[in-house]
Amino acid sequence: MPEVETLCRQLRRVIVGEEILGIEILDPRLGSLEGLERRKILSVRRQGKALKLKMSQGTFLSFHLRMTGRFQWRPDRDISPHTRLVLSFRKGHLFLIDPRRFATVALQEIREAFCPAQDSLGDLDTSYLSEAAGKRQLPVKSFLMDQRVIAGIGNIYACEILHRAGIHPTRKVCRLSGADWSRVAEAAKAVLIRAVACRGTTISDWRDLYGRPGGYQKHLRVYGREGEECPGCGEVVRRMMLGGRGTWYCPGCQR
């Protein structure tokens, strides 16, 4: 989410009000997009981890970057490796670059814009969280990453939020107290706001619209730090698999 929010804010200042002059799909896996030429970009918004460009005539161009997707803005139309799509404007070109080819794009109508999940950026409602958890048995980390419950928390940030909240990733959600949920909400706010301010986390190849790496990797306390000392309590950070994803945590201060 912080990476998508970064692109969203940067794109707003570049393409809002601009007319699409051309679209080239270089990866047939993305499907086809017809009739976009001459339409204007009216707004750019983020919905969870999706990026939605509202166009004239009332439809949205909706992107999801998945694992390795990113956008680059350049004045000249030079195609770098893994470029999957090019949107051309008078001022320059927007490139979708995606080595693993999981990213998706779709045309959506206005009515599809509705999203019931609570957005992760901004205050999470503690009672909403505990009610959504109810009697469910799944681990709290899987719950935080369920995009139908909270829109926007991915693997890196789930690990960091739970560490900051002092909650073990495998705890069943039905066993969390009101105080636990408050700590989760507080931790999510602190982590995500800072990550957005840092323009995301560059572990390997994430870059912003202008090719600059993010900065939040300098603030990671557990993610990718197996074997290192927990900055909070000095215990050794451990890694486990949870829901098929690498999960880092401190056994000392996460209970």
Partner DNA sequence: CCCTATGTTCCCAA
Partner DNA sequence: CTTGGGAACATAGG
Nearer to DNA, 49 or 225 (CB): 49
- The site that binds DNA (CB under 7 A) totals a number of residues, namely 35
Distance (Å) of CA 109 to CA 24, 56, 114, 148, 238: 22, 12, 10, 20, 45
Give the residue, chosen from 46, 52, 54, 82, that forms a contact with DNA under the rule CB under 7 A.
82
Cα distance between residue 16 and residue 205, in whole Å: 27
Cα distance between residue 54 and residue 112, in whole Å: 12
219 binds DNA (CB under 7 A): no
155 binds DNA (CB under 7 A): yes
Residue type, 47: Q
Residue type, 160: E
202 binds DNA (CB under 7 A): yes
* Least distance in angstroms from the C-beta of 99 to DNA: 5
For residues 8 to 47, the per-residue mask of contacts with DNA, x marking binding by CB under 7 A and - elsewhere, is ---------------------x------------------
198 binds DNA (CB under 7 A): no
Distance (Å) of CA 207 to CA 64, 165, 176: 16, 28, 36
Residue type, 241: M
What residue ranges bind DNA (CB under 7 A)? Answer: 3, 29, 48-49, 64, 66-68, 70, 81-82, 99-102, 136-139, 142, 145, 147, 154-156, 202-206, 241, 243-246
